[in-house]
């Protein structure tokens, strides 16, 4: 058994994109477990540990807004990079934004606020010098001081996340009074399996709290 942590995260906007609505992005109603994991890993992570999200507490009313932006349609093709490397010349290695432009709308969350309840487990990569206490201390120290590996974000990098550690003895912050079915939600992406399949679970908000199933539980749908 390892000890859990609680982290309060909030910001001006958030976009936890639904995988089925990717092009004109539409956010989930609530922070997803995989985005929460990303936030924790932005503060502290080592291959020796694996974060497990237990619950998400929703502190602010769920509201949406639409933002449309000019985006580019393409990625940097590896083949072109390779041939430029071989030629030793950067000609036509560029992306012209006005020729490859897509205007895309994003439906984003406004002024979200959450408490992430999580713990971590040791993985097979843990050495003798890795112990639970050490990593828990490191995380708590960093989160308490506002230190991070990189500024965590709420779904996409333009929506920065501010974070505060909720001390173990502090009362649970008040959540919104809402109970509803959130439908199927992305639990996480299975990075270990070939093809990186997505895993889902049936998300429910109970008085503002979304319980997240444990890894390998029957509730996770492959």
Partner 1 sequence: MTILANRYDFILIFDVTNGNPNGDPDAGNLPRLDPETNHGLVSDVSLKRKIRNYVELARERQEGYHIYVQEGAILNEKHRLAYKALRPDDPKVDKDKSLNPRDDAESIKLRDFMCRNFFDVRTFGAVMSTGINAGQVKGPVQLTFATSVEPIVPVEISITRMAATNEAERKQKVEGSDASDRTDNRTMGRKHIVPYGLYVAHGFISAKFAERTGFSETDLELVFEALTTMFEHDRSAARGEMTSRNLIVFKHENALGNAPAGKLFDMVRIGRNIDGQFREIDRRLDNFPPARKFSDYIVAIDRADLPSGVEIIEKL
What does the binding site for partner 1 look like in residue numbers (CB under 8 A)?
Answer: 12-13, 63, 65-72, 75-79, 81-82, 84-86, 88-91, 93-99, 103, 105, 110, 142, 145-151, 153, 157-160, 162-164
CB of 56 to partner 1, least distance (A): 20
d(CA 98, CA 24): 19
CB of 33 to partner 1, least distance (A): 19
Residue 1 or 78 with smaller CB distance to partner 1 = 78
d(CA 117, CA 8): 9
DSSP state of 177: -
Closest to 95 measured CA to CA, from 83, 77, 82? 77
CA 71, chain centre distance (Å): 22
Token readout for 190 is 């299975």
d(CA 72, CA 93): 15
CB of 150 to partner 1, least distance (A): 4
CB of 110 to partner 1, least distance (A): 7
Three-class SS of residue 63? coil
Residue 65 or 198 with smaller CB distance to partner 1 = 65
CB of 196 to partner 1, least distance (A): 9
Range 70-101 burial, b when 16+ CB lie within 10 A, else e: eeeeeeeeeeeeeeeeeeeeeeeeeeeeeeee
CB of 161 to partner 1, least distance (A): 9
d(CA 196, CA 189): 6
């Amino acid at each position: 058994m390892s000890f859990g942590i609680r982290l309060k995260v909030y910001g001006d906007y958030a976009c936890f994109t639904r995988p089925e609505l990717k092009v004109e992005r539409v956010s989930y109603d609530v922070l997803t477990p995989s985005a929460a994991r990303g936030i924790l890993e932005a503060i502290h992570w080592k291959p020796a540990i694996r974060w497990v999200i237990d619950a998400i507490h929703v502190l602010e009313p769920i509201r949406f807004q639409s933002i449309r932006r000019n985006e580019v349609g393409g990625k940097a093709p590896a083949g072109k990079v390779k041939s430029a490397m071989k030629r030793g010349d950067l000609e036509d290695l560029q992306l012209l934004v006005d020729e490859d432009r897509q205007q895309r709308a994003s439906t984003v969350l406004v002024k979200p606020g959450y408490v992430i309840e999580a713990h971590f487990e040791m993985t097979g990569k843990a050495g003798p010098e890795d112990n639970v206490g050490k990593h828990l201390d490191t995380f708590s120290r960093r989160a308490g001081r506002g230190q991070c590996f990189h500024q965590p974000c709420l779904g996409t990098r333009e929506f920065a996340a501010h974070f505060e550690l909720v001390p173990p003895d502090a009362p649970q912050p008040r959540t919104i009074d809402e109970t509803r079915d959130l439908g199927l939600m992305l639990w996480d992406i299975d990075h270990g399996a070939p093809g990186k399949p997505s895993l889902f679970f049936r998300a429910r908000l109970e008085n503002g709290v979304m319980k997240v199933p444990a890894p390998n539980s029957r509730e996770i749908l492959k």
